[in-house]
């Protein structure tokens, strides 16, 4: 049958865009069904702050009237302005195992981007590197944590064989277990114990009431500590407003941390999220009829966490602030029925953070690959 790729235009198209992963992966033990309502809101130009500085187009691929693949093409003007480039991105990649299909999807995304003056396409990312990003190529046997993609192994094989598509960078996920505290290098505990006595820096927890104000602190530190990272885009006020709404749904004051001086200057932060995917697995993509009950019981269900962001201002990175935040995570986990979790993603090129994970006794359990394709 002939293959047709066309933009999402109708409500039915959008529904099929959201539901395709359910058909492709529902029999996979590792796959976690997202909440369909959240996915629809995330794709909405009205509700997602991403569209205040970006444009995007969604595409569906059909054979004989049946949806067999999907992709997005997007332009993040904040990213382009910051880096002074003309890159475009692709994301939301889902497809049946078919090399021709992948080529058609990428061609549609590339065509849309080239029409708008882009000279390179990078992805997948949904819509940014701080959302689900990359193609999984190691760790298929482990279920994804919150904001992590999971794909069967043929996704990676198809991408590796696709002409013109090349590796841009790899993303690593590190696993840390509370029971493996003895594997942590003693220097980590020594640095953490000296943090307040020698440097006057303490760690406090955020509260739900102060969350939005503390996210301004997070934005300040993020925009400083991550600014040299590949794919970095500074957070705007609108981005932080939207992020605050998302975090209120999974907020746990035990895991949201700020490191600050005696004078109250914030110097480091960590945002660690209980693994809501353990709850979503039971909800099967729906709030009704009983999905909401699982969500209300999320603190009893989730026994692992994902450290999504942990960063320190550059002028304080040699004061042991990161060690203090690491230790706080271990201490919190011991009394919070948490057996451990994952930290990342961390760029393969981020030598300092990866050495830090090794010092903590961590091990790489998942690897994702981001690809790029030049035009010209």
Which domains, ranges and CATH numbers included, belong to the chain?
Answer: 3-171 (3.40.630.30), 175-374 (3.40.630.30)
Length of the chain in terms of residues written: 376
Cα angle value 308/310/313 (rounded, 5°) = 145
What percentage of the chain has pLDDT greater than the value 70? 94
Q: Can you give the pLDDT at residue 283?
A: 67
Nearest of 65, 110, 68, 104 to residue 89 by alpha carbon: 110
Q: Which of 23, 121, 130 is nearest to 70 (CA)?
A: 23
Beta-carbon count within 10 A of 197 CB: 8
The pLDDT of residue 291 is above 80 = no
Q: What is the pLDDT of residue 296?
A: 53
First to last CA, the chain: 31
Describe the crossing of helices 186-199 and 321-334 by its angle, rounded to 10 degrees. 110
Nearest alpha-carbon partner for 187 in 14, 13, 355, 7: 355
Pairing of strands 125-126, 132-133: antiparallel
Element (H, E) at 213: helix 211-225
pLDDT of residue 374: 95
Return d(Cα 311, Cα 318) in angstroms, integer.
Answer: 12
Task: Report the distance separating Cα 375 and Cα 328, nearest Å.
Answer: 47
Is residue 43 a contact partner of residue 59, using CB atoms and an 8 Å limit? no
CA distance 229 to 349: 9
| pLDDT given at position 248 | 82
What pLDDT sits at residue 314? 85
User: Could you give the CA distance from residue 57 to residue 211 in angstroms, rounded to a whole number?
Assistant: 33
- Mean pLDDT over the full length of the chain: 89
pLDDT over 80 (residue 376): no
pLDDT at residue 93, as a whole number: 98
pLDDT digits (tens, 9 = 90+) for 83-127: 999 999 999 999 999 999 999 999 999 999 999 999 999 999 999
Per-residue pLDDT tens digits for 138-188: 999 999 988 899 999 999 999 999 999 999 999 999 998 876 778 888 888
Question: Which string of DSSP letters, residue by residue, matches 289-320?
Answer: TTHHHHHHTHHHH---EEEEEEEE-GGGTTTT
Lowest mean pLDDT among 58-67, 282-291, 312-321: 282-291
Question: Which has the minimum average pLDDT: 12-16, 318-322, 370-374?
Answer: 318-322
Cβ contacts of residue 180 below 8 Å, gap of 6+?
Answer: 340, 361
**Cα–Cα dist 134/315, whole Å:** 31
Q: What is the DSSP letter of 227?
A: T
DSSP string, 96-139: -S-HHHHHHHHHHHHHHHHHTT--EEEE-EESSTTSEESEEEE-
Helix axes 99-115, 153-161, angle to 10 degrees: 60
CA dist., res. 301 & res. 278, Å (int): 7
Q: 239: closest CA among 127, 93, 125?
A: 127
- pLDDT value at position 276? 79
Query: Is 80 exceeded by the pLDDT of residue 193?
Result: yes
Instruction: Read off the DSSP letter of residue 206.
Output: -
Q: Model's pTM, two decimal places? A: 0.90
Mean pLDDT of 50-60: 96
């Amino acid at each position: 049958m002939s293959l047709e790729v066309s933009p999402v235009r109708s409500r039915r198209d959008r529904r099929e865009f959201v539901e395709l992963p359910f058909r492709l992966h529902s029999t996979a033990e590792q796959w976690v069904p997202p909440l369909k309502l959240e996915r629809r809101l995330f794709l909405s130009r009205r509700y997602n702050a991403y569209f205040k500085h970006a444009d995007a187009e969604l595409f569906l691929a059909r054979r004989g009237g049946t949806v067999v693949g999907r992709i997005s093409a997007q332009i993040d003007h904040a990213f382009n302005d910051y880096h002074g480039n003309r890159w475009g991105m692709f994301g939301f990649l889902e497809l049946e195992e078919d090399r021709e299909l992948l080529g058609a999807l990428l061609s549609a995304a590339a065509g849309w981007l080239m029409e708008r003056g882009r000279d390179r396409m990078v992805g997948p990312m949904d819509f940014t590197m701080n959302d689900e990003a990359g193609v999984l190529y190691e760790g298929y046997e482990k279920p994804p944590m919150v904001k992590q993609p999971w794909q069967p192994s043929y996704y990676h094989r198809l991408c590796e064989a696709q002409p013109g598509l090349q590796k841009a960078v790899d993303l690593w996920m590190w696993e840390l277990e509370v029971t493996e505290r003895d594997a942590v290098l003693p220097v980590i505990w020594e640095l953490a114990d000296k943090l307040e006595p020698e440097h006057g820096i303490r760690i406090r927890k955020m509260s739900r009431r102060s969350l939005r104000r503390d996210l301004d602190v997070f934005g300040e530190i993020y925009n400083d500590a991550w600014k040299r990272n590949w794919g970095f885009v500074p957070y705007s006020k609108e981005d932080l407003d939207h992020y605050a709404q998302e975090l209120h749904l999974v907020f746990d004051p035990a895991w949201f941390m700020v490191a600050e001086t005696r004078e109250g200057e914030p110097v480091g932060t960590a945002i660690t999220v209980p693994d809501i995917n353990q709850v979503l697995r039971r909800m099967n993509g729906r709030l009704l009829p009983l999905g909401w009950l699982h969500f209300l019981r999320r603190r009893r269900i989730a026994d692992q966490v994902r450290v999504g962001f942990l960063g320190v201002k550059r002028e304080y990175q040699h004061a042991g602030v990161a060690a203090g935040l690491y230790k706080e995570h271990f201490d919190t986990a011991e009394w919070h029925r948490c057996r451990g979790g994952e930290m990342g993603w961390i760029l393969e090129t981020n030598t300092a953070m990866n050495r830090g994970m090794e010092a903590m006794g961590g091990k790489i359990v998942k690897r994702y690959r981001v690809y790029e394709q030049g035009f010209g």
